[in-house]
């Protein structure tokens, strides 16, 4: 179980906090507004009302002992940047920050935070990918152009062998597993026969995965 601190319990921060709790982690929620803080007092592990632009207030929270601190106050640029500067000065190393503008991203990059998150932009890209390839039910970017994708097997591809699905591709694709109604087959061989309503999970470069997705359209 990890220990996380989330600063800012607006829509984004609250969603991240509650999901971390569901995943079995310990979460400290921090917000300046008492009404917002009290709203999540029974949901999160701990909730504190604090002004995160005050270095002494942050120091008292001992945030350096947490696995990660998520700063989710992107809409308030000055408060966000002051908070990050104070966290860095207190020796907090693993800092993720929500940003809502290119300028904010540039400044946060100079401050050396661990990761900068653009929720609306990232969700927009995700939705566009899923709209473009509706048979792709989910995907994860691994960086360097590689993705893990989850694809539904349609009736059109019923009784198709895995090796047939991957024929003619210029780049290698790794078949991680196939999920059927009752079983999960890890690393299926090329002769494995797919059935409609199966789900196949693939790893590879985006161009090759798109080629497979077009076969399934």
Give the tens place of pLDDT for each residue, 44-54: 999 999 999 99
CATH number at residue 153: 3.30.70.1450
Provide the pLDDT confidence category of residue 155 given band limits of 50, 70 and 90.
Answer: confident
Q: How high is the pLDDT of residue 42?
A: 94
pLDDT in tens, 51-89: 999 999 999 999 999 999 999 996 788 999 999 999 999
Q: How high is the pLDDT of residue 101?
A: 83
Query: Is residue 85 domain-shared with residue 159, that is, in the same domain?
Result: no
Q: How high is the pLDDT of residue 72?
A: 93
Query: Is residue 101 domain-shared with residue 149, that is, in the same domain?
Result: no
* Domain end marker among 65, 99, 117: 117
Query: Is residue 99 domain-shared with residue 126, that is, in the same domain?
Result: no
Q: Among residues 202, 102, 197, 91, which one has the least CA distance to residue 146?
A: 202
Query: Is residue 99 domain-shared with residue 136, that is, in the same domain?
Result: no
Q: How high is the pLDDT of residue 167?
A: 84
* Domain end marker among 73, 97, 117: 117
Number of structural domains the chain divides into: 2
Mean pLDDT of the chain: 86
At a CB cut-off of 8 Å and minimum separation 6, what does 58 contact?
50, 52, 83, 86, 87, 90
Provide the pLDDT confidence category of residue 122 given band limits of 50, 70 and 90.
Answer: low
Query: Is residue 95 domain-shared with residue 145, that is, in the same domain?
Result: no
Query: Is residue 108 domain-shared with residue 126, that is, in the same domain?
Result: no
pLDDT in tens, 21-36: 998 999 999 999 999 9
Does position 94 have pLDDT exceeding 70, yes or no?
yes
Q: Which one of 123-137, 168-182, 191-205 scores highest in mean pLDDT?
A: 191-205
* Residues spanned by the domain of 29: 3-117
- Strand-pair category, 193-194 with 160-161: antiparallel
Query: Is residue 90 domain-shared with residue 165, that is, in the same domain?
Result: no
Query: Is residue 154 domain-shared with residue 129, that is, in the same domain?
Result: yes
The token pair that represents 103 in the structure block? 């300028």
DSSP-based three-state secondary structure for 180: coil
The token pair that represents 128 in the structure block? 């566009």
135-139, 140-144, 146-150, 175-179: least confident range: 135-139
Report d(CA 154, CA 196) in Å as an integer. 5
Q: How high is the pLDDT of residue 135?
A: 60
Does position 196 have pLDDT exceeding 70, yes or no?
yes
169-178, 182-191, 208-217: least confident range: 208-217
Report d(CA 157, CA 195) in Å as an integer. 7
Query: Is residue 48 domain-shared with residue 127, that is, in the same domain?
Result: no
Query: Is residue 42 domain-shared with residue 70, that is, in the same domain?
Result: yes
Q: How high is the pLDDT of residue 209?
A: 81
Query: Is residue 100 domain-shared with residue 129, that is, in the same domain?
Result: no
* Domain end marker among 83, 117, 151: 117
CATH number at residue 62: 3.40.50.720
Query: Is residue 16 domain-shared with residue 107, that is, in the same domain?
Result: yes
Which DSSP category does 92 fall into? -
Q: How high is the pLDDT of residue 215?
A: 73
């Amino acid at each position: 179980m990890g220990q996380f601190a989330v600063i800012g319990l607006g829509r984004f921060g609250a969603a991240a906090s509650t999901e971390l709790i569901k995943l079995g982690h310990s979460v400290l929620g921090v917000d300046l507004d008492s009404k917002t803080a009290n709203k999540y007092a029974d949901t999160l592990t701990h909730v504190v009302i604090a002004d995160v632009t005050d270095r002494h207030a942050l120091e008292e929270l001992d945030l350096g002992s947490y696995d990660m601190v998520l700063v989710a106050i992107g809409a308030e640029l000055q408060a966000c940047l002051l908070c990050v500067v104070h966290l860095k000065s207190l020796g907090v190393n693993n800092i993720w920050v929500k940003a809502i503008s290119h300028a904010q991203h540039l400044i946060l990059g100079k401050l050396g935070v661990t990761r900068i998150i653009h929720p609306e932009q990232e969700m927009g890209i995700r939705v566009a990918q899923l709209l473009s390839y509706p048979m792709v039910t989910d995907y994860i970017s691994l960086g360097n152009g590689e993705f893990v994708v989850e694809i539904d097997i349609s009736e059109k591809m019923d009784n198709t062998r895995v090796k047939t699905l991957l024929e003619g591709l210029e780049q290698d694709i790794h078949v991680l597993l196939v999920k059927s109604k009752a079983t999960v087959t890890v690393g299926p061989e090329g002769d494995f026969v797919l059935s409609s309503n199966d789900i196949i999970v693939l790893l590879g470069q985006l161009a090759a995965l798109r080629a497979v997705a077009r076969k399934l359209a």
